[in-house]
Structure 1
Amino acid sequence: MNKKYLLKRLKSLKGMLRTAQQRAEDPATTEETLIEIETQVEEITAEINEVNDMIESLPDDESTEVVDVVEDLGAAVEEVEDAVDENITEEEVVEEPTQARSRVLGIIGKGLESRGEQKLGKLNKRSAFLRYLSGRLNQSQARSLGIKFNNGKVLVPTELSKEIISYVQEENPLRAAATPHKTKGMQGFPVQVKKADANIVEEERDDSNLIPFTDLEFDDVYLDPKEFDAIIKVTKKLTHMSDFDIEAIVLDELKSAYLRKEAFWHFSAPTNPGSLAKKAVEFVVAEGTVNKYLKLIQLKNALPTSMRAKARWMINRQAQTELESILDNNGNPILKDSGNEEFSHTLFTFPVIVTDYADEWNVSGSKYDPSKPMIYFGDFSYFHIQDVLGTLEIEPLRELIARENKVGFKIYHISDGQLIYGPFETPVYFLDILADGAVGG
């Protein structure tokens, strides 16, 4: 109702502007009349701007309280509308008022900009997409509202696709620290890795000892975009309960389902040769080191200085427990001022990210094992992620699980994420803080 009102009002106001435009373009219109038109147009565009501003402020879940605000914009504009519709008596044509005409037409042009309509169009498409998924619109109705389909799959609108990926970026800590690559094609994206260094000649050069050509070799490591898919289920009963925002529920579940799949691939997937668990180099502490605090210091100092600017720790909750349990000789926690304070989430001035996605993956049991402390440290910008633009699709699975009285959806995207580095650099380490029978703090 609100959006219909706003669109109707904008259409009416812009119709008034087009009428004024025709009069302003008429060579017979005098400068005096143009001044009158300019005053009318400024009042019309003022209301258009107010309506556009309210449309811009509409949340993506659609406002339900804007109609009253719009209706209170003032009765003055209605008078302008009547004035514009009135016929102007013919007047004697004087010299063509070029500057005044250009000024009035410029004001009209700005008023005809469809900023608000574009916003409403996005909201309409977003709402139509989610309503189609929840079964409240059929395919033909969704098509009429701008939703596109591809072999039974519905293409996620651009704005909604950005919303899903933005959510994943916020919740997947590797995405926040990684180097992204957005491509339009599904081919792998090459990342160059230096394999050999330049030759160094120490002797003083002369005619018989010229500078040789630099001997550098590079290896292209290709990201390999994979098809990510995840299935969610929603009960049919829920889709028919008007008290619930079923569209928001569906969207939240789609986001979470895709996030779990992607984070697993980035952190732990045994079939991903570049996953963090497979590619991070296990750090070997100095022989005889059992003190956990000293192990952390050794790991920190093992990272090259050139990589420390972007360095950070990435650990799971069990590792956080281990770090908070390190005590000094007086029984006080080393990494906190007191036992009542929260973990500061910095360690040796480097940020600490605590995430369950860092848990060890048990291949035989096909599940996470949160009991083992997992500690990664390094420059995670060496983790590269390729997203193939325009490939985010969702396929309804209504018939597949109809016997369960549920509606299912499969979200589909093409992407890849790998930790990539050369043979002479180690950007990310893994520390087994319990190795060597370490029992002391």
Structure 2
Amino acid sequence: MTVRFLALAATSTIGTCLFALWVWKLRSRRKQGKVKFGREIREQEFVISKEVSPCNNGSFGATPRPVLRARQRFVDEAEDNPDDFFVSSKAMIYYEESLLTVADFVGAKMEHLVFVQNTTTGINSVMKSFKFNKGDSILVSSLTYPAIVNMAMDVCDNSDKELQFIKVNINFPIHGKDEVIQKYIDILEANPSIRVAIIDHITSSTALLMPIQELIQACHDRGVQVVIDGAHAPGQVQLNLEQLGADYYVGNLYKWLFAPRPSAFLWVNQKHYKTVKPLVTSHNYQQSLQNQFYQQGACDYSQYFSSEAAIQFYQDIGGYEAVSQYNREMVEWAMEMLAEAWQTECLPIPDDMRAPFMGMVALPEGCIINVPTTVSRDYTEKLKEEIHNKYKISILLGYIQDRFWCRLCSHVYNSKEDYFNVRDAFLDMKMENSKIS
């Protein structure tokens, strides 16, 4: 917290009281010692339903109570005097203070960052600002998030530049990261028209930690710009964006870093400042990058302002070292336990390419029957909803190379009981289906 922020908090009675209460609670937690991960921290710090086994943090995250209270403080202050809050410099100062905190956490210069709603919005902003030449191509992979694939197709379909859409296929098993790097090199060499590559830091549906440093270099060596989709990275892996060397990096704050939804950041390499624009053009048109992304009409930015409280919470409970140790150990245990109980396997990838807090386990044979010839995302989403409603478990289902897989996530509020419930749900489905057949 800076002196400027402290002074600003004192400008309203609501802001002063709630801010003081928040600081007191944080200090009290430090004095009492850190709350235990698992069931204890879930009950004390989160509002997650007791009826649910939440093993799908990677989709929507979970916001702890102290961060929700911090957000409400900003909402209350804005409602207390909207004209003063938005017209004066208050909102802008909160925005800059939060951005500075995020920049420090991800190893970036503040002037290189802007807030966006989510990674999909950020990547859309980059790609729909991109200056393509006739015949250029966009590169994605077979593991790219579906919304981003749709966006890339949309950019190609609605351009008069005769753009091409190219996909690098990544299949399993993967024996080493060099195998993936070579696939990218081969397709880059075979398609010199590729102008920009969209690469996941951690793939969403397969929990694969990509060798982005090497892939960025391979692209740059061939004059290809790189957009990194870091939806799952902040809070799960340590970042230093200034050293990474990408052209653009977009990361969510609400998944693994406890910020409220929707909140994410877009990092832009300085050499691209003049080309990137927000999807919404508003009052600050043709101004600085940050000004253009900041003021886009009367918006509720309380989720962005609360990112400082989210990072404080993350650090308060032990920071990356404590969070990483707990989540890594939990998800590795859960994957092994389920693979043994279901008599299946974990996704065959090398250990150094496994996402730290996520993992994939094949579902037991017979637990899903009457499978259509073509398994769509809509089908797996509907199936996931039916399983959630019946068994009260939250997981992500994937269909990879003609087989159903379960994506598991672990965060500090998870306990072994959650994964035992996942185990039992699919074993019950298998047993019920065996009675039918």
The structure with the largest strand share of the pair is 1
Give TM-score, length-normalised by structure 2. 0.20
Give TM-score, length-normalised by structure 1. 0.20
Greater relative contact order (Cα 8 A, min sep 6): structure 1 or 2?
Answer: 2
The structure with the largest helix share of the pair is 2
